[in-house]
Amino acid sequence: MEFDKPINAATDWLCGTWEVGFTETRLILRREPAQPTQSGREYGLRFEIRDNGEFVEYFTAPCGNDQFIHHWIGNWKLSEDDQTLILQIENHPIRFPSEKLRPTEAYKKGQEFEIIERADEEVQLQLKALEVEWAIEALWKYERQK
């Protein structure tokens, strides 16, 4: 997949760090607060969308032994009509041999999300193809131990 569309003022609204929530069919991105919380720590799933076209997905937890902790890097782009966000993971290192969380094949090729709602502080993305029970399953697969 070619990620050669230039980043400009039309796409600048998307750049930054987003807290990610999800429902059955949608990912809900909420802009990170400018100031840290009282504890100074934020945990959970985050997307970092950079103005150079790079995309980082990471998950943190208060317990460093959480099964979903990861830090993956890839690319992002918007469709020509700016209605579809395409996220692609290219680098997904494995921290421990026992780690079972992986990006899906669709995520490695470029997962498409239709932009349903867009505001300064929140963006809602709908999966283009609803082939999963929960939106997060379009991005993650968890390989169970055999």
Mean pLDDT, range 98-120, rounded to an integer: 87
Query: Is there a contact between 86 and 112 (Cβ–Cβ < 8 Å)?
Result: yes
pLDDT at 131: 66
pLDDT per position as a tens digit, 56-88: 999 888 776 677 888 999 999 999 888 999 999
pTM of the predicted model over 0.85: no
**Residue 74: what pLDDT?**
96
84 Rama class: left (phi>0) / alpha (psi -120 to 50) / beta: beta
Phi, psi of 9 (to 5 degrees): -60, -30
Which one is predicted more confidently, 143 or 137? Answer: 137
Residues 12 and 51: beta-carbon distance below 8 Å: yes
Which value, in Å, is the radius of gyration of the alpha carbons in the chain?
15
Residues 6 or more apart from 22 whose CB is under 8 A from it?
28, 134, 135, 136
pLDDT of amino acid 41: 63
Is there a contact between 125 and 113 (Cβ–Cβ < 8 Å)?
A: yes
- Neighbouring C-beta atoms of residue 91, cutoff 10 Å: 10
**pLDDT given at position 7:** 55
Kindly give, in sequence order, each residue whose CB lies less than 8 Å from that of residue 16, ignoring residues fewer than 6 positions away: 31, 32, 48, 49
The structural domains of the chain, with segments of one domain joined by +, span: 9-140
pLDDT at 90: 94
How far are the Cα atoms of 10, 15, 40, 115 from residue 36, in angstroms, in the given order?
28, 19, 5, 28
Percent of the chain with pLDDT over 90: 27
What pLDDT score was predicted for residue 3? 55
In whole angstroms, give the CA distance from residue 136 to residue 70: 14
Pick the CATH number of 9-140 from 3.20.14, 3.30.70, 3.90.320, 2.40.128: 2.40.128
